[in-house]
Chains A and B, each alone.
Chain A
Amino acid sequence: MVEFFFVLIPEHFPFLLEGALITLQLSILSMAAAVVIGLGVALIRLAKVPILSKLCAAYVEVWRDVPLIVQLLVIFFTLPNIGIRLPGFWAGVLGLSLNIGAYLSEVFRAAISSIDTGQRDAGLSIGMSRFTVYRRVILPQAMRIALPTLGGYFISLLKDSSLVSFIAVNELLRNGTIIIANTFRSMEVYFMVAIIYFIMSFAAARLVGWVEMKLTPAYLRPAAFDLRRRLRLA
């Protein structure tokens, strides 16, 4: 125990934190790209753009039906055969964002479809363009509905990004396995890795909850939220 806290942690924690930073970068970049992909695909499918919406439907189907790890390996090891050589980190971002993007497109599609058509009518009836109706009326409401699910996907992404260790990206898990290869202290190191994942996911979950509350009109917020805020201001 003493050794764990006073030798192993000081010695290996910084290296693990370096990995954790890469994990965060991977996750945040992939999530941002996945939101763009997911929203784009959802809008194309809802607008029933000819051909394009069929292609998008096929994309969603294929990417949801192949394991993420297989997708990552395909991107990293077979794209070079056709002349596309991506560094591990960017192959990871590409693989993760395409995968999560497929799922998010369904989240956005459901959220947008759930907005009453009367909202669209109201926007159009005061002279808004279809684009403005989306920007000012439908998307702000749909986002509020999608946000908790989006947050959930981000938290799984934080953890699933560990699969990128298979394509030689020095993220948290891989840095852990490197330490283990040198020290054979698998139990302690895996424990540290687990703790770091937990802290990141826990913090992310709290952040999502907070943003969700911020987007909820004040009168619908549980009293506790405003109380906490008032205490913090005090």
Chain B
Amino acid sequence: MTGAPVLSVRGLAKQFGATKVLNGVDLDVTPGEVTFLIGPSGGGKSTVLRCLNFLETPTAGEIAFDGQRLCHEDGGVFQAARESVLREARSHMPMVFQHFNLFTHRTALENVIEGPVIVQKRPRAEAIEEGRALLKRVGLAERADYYPGQLSGGQKQRVAIARALAMRPKLILFDEPTSALDPELVSEVLDLIRELAEEGRTMIVVSHEMMFAKRLAGRVHFIAGGRIEESGTPQAIFDDPKSDRLKAFIRSILH
């Protein structure tokens, strides 16, 4: 797990009006690494993720992704890269959302090929072939022509993961991928994410599934109050927490 980081973040900050949501977040992700962001609700985990792909525009800090500067400070003035650079970056770090956000007017297969065909301009026939393979990969080959409204939550999330994979991503962002699922559907999605981790995919996962994080993470960041309070290996974070806030958080989730 060495090599140049695919993603490097320095001093990332986000303010909504007068409210500071993020307060200087530093983060490095190396290729093949699985990074977990954990922490209390409202602590800023999801905002970090949404700033990385500019669904939210940060208000300060630097982000470099895959050799491209997405934003930086120039003499104290925050500057974001051109929209075309941001779009290009987004297409290489797709996001899997808590509420799936499948295109409701398109079938599972159409959802998966939308990015390759429309954004990456790959030949439709090739995209369809690859899309079917991906749906098979996530165990939904026979659901290719179903609309999102005909799928269970777990199936929808697996289609959403296939949609992300279809972008041939360098990094996948997971924003609480199992939080909206019925308890009995959580494991099918977690199993899939685990398989992707084992394939050596680079991912950042915001999750409340602590046992899952402990087993899977290369690195865990505990985010609270808009900053990274503590970082480390899963063992260090879960078995030997240093800060009082993390200790309290771990206690609270273990009941």
Contacts and interface: CB of A to CB of B under 8 A. Distances in A.
Interface residues of A, number: 21
Contact of B103 (A119, A124, A129): A119
B101 A126 contact: no
Query: Which of A124, A126, A128, A141 is packed against the most chain B CB atoms within 10 Å?
Result: A126
A55 to B, nearest CB: 26
Contact of B95 (A116, A125, A141, A217): A125
B149 A126 contact: no
A137 interface: yes
Contacts of B115: 126-128
B149 A220 contact: yes
A34 B9 CA distance: 49
Interface residues of B, number: 30
Contact of A140 (B55, B87, B105, B147): B105
Given A118-B99, A121-B55, A136-B114, A129 B104 contact: no
B90 interface: yes
A125 B94 CA distance: 5
Contact of B91 (A116, A119, A126, A219): A126
Contacts of A113: none
Interface in B137-185: 146-147, 149-150, 163-164, 167, 173
A116 B100 CA distance: 12
A126 B172 CA distance: 11
Given A121-B101, A125-B53, A136 B90 contact: no
B118 interface: yes
Contact of A136 (B92, B118, B167, B173): B118
Nearest to A115: B104
B150 A132 contact: no
26 contacts: A118-B99, A118-B101, A119-B101, A119-B103, A121-B55, A121-B95, A124-B55, A125-B53, A125-B55, A125-B97, A125-B173, A126-B91, A126-B94, A126-B163, A127-B90, A127-B92, A127-B94, A127-B115, A128-B118, A128-B119, A129-B83, A129-B87, A132-B118, A137-B103, A219-B150, A220-B149
Interface of A: 116, 118-119, 121-129, 132, 136-137, 140-141, 144, 217, 219-220
